[in-house]
Amino acid sequence: MQFFIDTADVAEIRDLAATGLVDGVTTNPSLVAKSGRDFFEVLAEICDLVPGPVSAEVTATEHRAMLAEGRRLARVADNVVIKVPLTPEGLKACRAFTDEGTKVNVTLCFSPAQALLAAKAGARYISPFIGRLDDISVDGLQLIADVVEIYGAYPAIGTEVLVASVRHPLHVVESAKLGAHVATIPPAVLRAMFKHPLTDKGLAAFLDDWAKTGQKILSDDDAAEPERRSA
């Protein structure tokens, strides 16, 4: 499963990209607004930091205007993926972008029927929003199961299931069990995935016991060596 980061916060992306675990990034107009920064500057910085797919969303609602916006966004970097909403106009734009070789992420998917339409429109990614379904007492993970099953029945479908609106690590784990291709994960959720109280407790005990031996694996000089090399 690929991990994308769902944020427009460049500092967060830089920090998490350093873990080597980030395959791509997704943004949306709300996340850009939250960053308080210029969209084009932020997008260029993200594309520089992460070589994988970076989704940038159009804000026009008519397909010709979406195409104009998307073409402008695609000029920012080769790894930009254009995000369009799951509307008839969005899917018209999706088909046109796909035909001209630009990858599209179709967003705001809440039903298997919508996911089928996006696949027929040639989307590279479909983004089912599972957290927002859970919020209205509809099982978001069931949507992932349905879409994975439907796409799996047609090997010609090249659309990848990109699980979005992820709220906690269990969403990621259960989506992985269902075979979803990608999860776009908020930074706090990715950090939470590292955590287990027994890991912290176990590490503390190992370090305590090691300190009692009075030994060191590296001499102080050797330990300083990597810092000297990077200076």
**Among 5, 6, 58, 91, which residue sits at the site for ligand G3P (rule: CB under 6 A)?**
6
CB of 186 to ligand G3P, least distance (A): 7
114 is a site residue for ligand G3P (CB under 6 A): no
132-141 long-range contacts, CB within 8 A, separation 24+: 132/165, 133/165, 134/167, 140/165, 140/171, 141/171, 141/174, 141/175, 141/178
102 is a site residue for ligand G3P (CB under 6 A): no
Q: Residue 159 or 165: which CB sits closer to ligand G3P? A: 165
Structure tokens belonging to residue 219: 């001499």
* Bridge partner residues of 82 (DSSP): 56, 104
Residue 160 and residue 124: Cα distance in Å, rounded? Answer: 6
Q: Residue 66 or 205: which CB sits closer to ligand G3P? A: 66
Which of 24, 21, 30, 80 shows the shortest CA–CA distance to 56? 80
132 is a site residue for ligand G3P (CB under 6 A): yes
- Chain CA centroid to CA 65, Å: 26
169 is a site residue for ligand G3P (CB under 6 A): no
Candidates 36-44, 68-76, 89-97, 128-136: pick the segment binding ligand G3P (CB under 6 A): 128-136
Cα-flanking dihedrals φ and ψ of residue 78, to 5°?
-65, -25
**Among 110, 129, 157, 172, which residue sits at the site for ligand G3P (rule: CB under 6 A)?**
129
Cα-flanking dihedrals φ and ψ of residue 185, to 5°?
-115, 130
164 is a site residue for ligand G3P (CB under 6 A): yes
26 is a site residue for ligand G3P (CB under 6 A): yes
Q: Residue 102 or 165: which CB sits closer to ligand G3P? A: 165
Residue 45 and residue 43: Cα distance in Å, rounded? Answer: 5
Q: Catalytic: 83?
A: yes
CB of 208 to ligand G3P, least distance (A): 40
Which of 184, 70, 175 shows the shortest CA–CA distance to 125? 184
Q: Where in the sequence numbering do the catalytic residues fall?
A: 83
- Binding residues for ligand G3P, per CB under 6 A? 6, 26, 28, 129, 131-132, 164-165, 184
